[in-house]
């Protein structure tokens, strides 16, 4: 069955990690309106760690996320308002509140081996009349076969699509291709792909995913997302247009959003610096970058050393406190001993 591509721009959720969750309503309105006018199919708005994520553990939001969601709803004319929820962070009540404000799509995200914790939230989303996708994060940590088994669980709970989510930007093109193919072979529902650019492979991996049948595709204007950023929406749109696969995106309008609206908000460019490259190289969750940088500064150690150690310990989303623990241990190793 040939299904149309659906592009979800995640700038206003994944980009929250980059600016430490300090979005204003004005910024959300401006970027959401631009993306909507450019033909993006879904616009995701949430705290970086999803609904209910504003906390000391993950970072306090400047503006209540429900106000940001309400703002986005007021400017979106065509694109579907989308939110992210991580069970254990976001609750059923958070999902209901987002739905009441007009959210139409939710992505329920779990670690790639823990799909079973998403059952209640996926089922509730269906009851609320929402479109819902399962998000299997840190997909590089699971084999294609095992990932497909987890995806089947999400499909059985009612997911309209299940994502191969390269949270660490650690997948090679073959790795992305194999995982999407495994899901496509195993599922009746649609398959999605979410990439990060820590190894400079986000666009290539996304194209491979599309070739293998992924139809829910994530991207971010100017790559505005954690780590070295996500697949850049405007770049992906231009490439798809060149290939004759453009799903209705206005390439020039997306260029304008990426050039004029996003940079003043980003604070720092999406680039593959040494710490971001370490994320992909060691397979570490992309949203750990800013946490590791702060810990490195506080304890006087190299952020790369922190990320390497966190990678060795196979930390996953929700274990941000491990970063402080590792940084402290590294600083103590360097401390001079008393004579």
3-state class of 40 per DSSP? coil
**What does pTM read for this prediction?**
0.94
- Is-contact 107 135, C-beta < 8 A? yes
Segments making up each domain of the chain, as ranges? 6-266, 287-334
Q: What is the pLDDT of residue 1?
A: 61
Name the percent of the chain lying above pLDDT 70. 98
Average pLDDT of the chain to the nearest whole number: 95
Provide mean pLDDT across the span 185-212: 98
Give the pLDDT mean for 219-245.
Answer: 97
Q: Is the pLDDT of residue 335 over 80?
A: no
CB atoms within 10 A of CB 242: 10
- Alpha carbon distance 252, 233 (integer Å): 11
| pLDDT for 338 beyond 60 | no
Top pLDDT among 310 and 13 is at: 13
Clarify whether 17 is annotated catalytic. yes
Residue of 17, 21, 140, 160 marked active site: 17
Please give the average per-residue pLDDT across 144-170, as a whole number.
Answer: 98
On the question of a common fold for 6-266 and 287-334, the answer reads: no
**Matching CATH number, 287-334, of 3.40.50.12280, 1.10.10.10, 1.10.10.2840, 1.10.8.60:** 1.10.8.60
Q: For 6-266, which CATH superfamily applies?
A: Aldolase class I (3.20.20.70)
For residue range 297-334, list pLDDT tens digits in order.
Answer: 999 999 999 998 888 988 877 778 788 888 999 999 87
- Would you call 214 exposed, middle or buried from its count of C-beta atoms within 10 A (0-12, 13-18, 19+)? buried
- Return the closest-CA partner of residue 194 out of 183, 62, 296, 186: 183
CA 247 to chain centre: 21
Asked if the model's pLDDT at residue 36 lies above 60, the reply is yes
pLDDT tens column, 242-282: 999 999 999 999 999 999 999 999 988 999 999 999 999 99
Q: Quickly state the pLDDT bin for 339 (edges 50, 70, 90).
A: very low
Whole-number percent of the chain with pLDDT over 90:
84
pLDDT tops 50 at residue 94: yes
pLDDT for 57 equals: 81
């Amino acid at each position: 069955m040939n299904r149309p591509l659906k592009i979800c721009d995640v700038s206003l959720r994944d980009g929250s990690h980059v600016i430490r969750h300090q979005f204003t309503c004005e910024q959300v309105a401006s970027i959401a309106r631009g993306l909507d006018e450019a033909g993006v199919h879904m616009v995701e708005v949430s705290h970086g760690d999803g609904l209910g994520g504003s906390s000391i553990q993950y970072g306090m939001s400047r503006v209540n996320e429900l106000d940001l969601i309400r703002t986005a709803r007021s400017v979106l004319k065509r694109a579907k308002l989308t939110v992210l929820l991580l069970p254990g962070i976001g609750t059923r009540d958070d999902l209901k509140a987002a739905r009441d404000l007009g959210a139409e799509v939710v992505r329920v995200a779990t670690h790639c081996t823990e799909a079973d914790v998403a059952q209640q939230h996926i089922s509730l989303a269906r009851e609320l009349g929402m479109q819902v996708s399962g998000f299997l994060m840190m997909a590089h940590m699971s084999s294609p076969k095992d990932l497909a088994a987890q995806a089947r669980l999400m499909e059985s709970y009612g997911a309209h699509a299940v994502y191969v989510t390269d949270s660490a930007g650690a997948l090679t093109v073959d790795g992305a291709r194999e995982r999407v193919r495994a899901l496509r072979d195993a599922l009746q529902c649609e398959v999605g792909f979410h990439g990060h650019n820590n190894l400079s492979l986000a666009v290539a991996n996304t194209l491979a995913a599309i070739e293998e049948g992924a139809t829910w595709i994530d991207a971010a204007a100017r790559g505005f997302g954690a780590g070295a950023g996500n697949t850049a929406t405007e770049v992906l749109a231009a490439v798809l247009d060149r290939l004759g696969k453009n799903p209705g995106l206005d390439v020039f309008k997306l260029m304008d959003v990426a050039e004029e609206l996003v940079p003043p908000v980003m604070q720092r460019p999406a680039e593959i610096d040494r710490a971001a490259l370490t994320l992909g190289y060691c397979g570490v969750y992309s949203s750990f970058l800013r946490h590791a940088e702060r810990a490195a500064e506080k304890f006087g150690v190299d952020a790369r050393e922190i990320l390497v150690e966190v990678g060795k310990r196979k930390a996953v989303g929700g274990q941000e406190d491990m970063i402080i623990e590792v940084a402290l241990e590294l600083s103590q190793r360097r401390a001079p001993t008393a004579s």
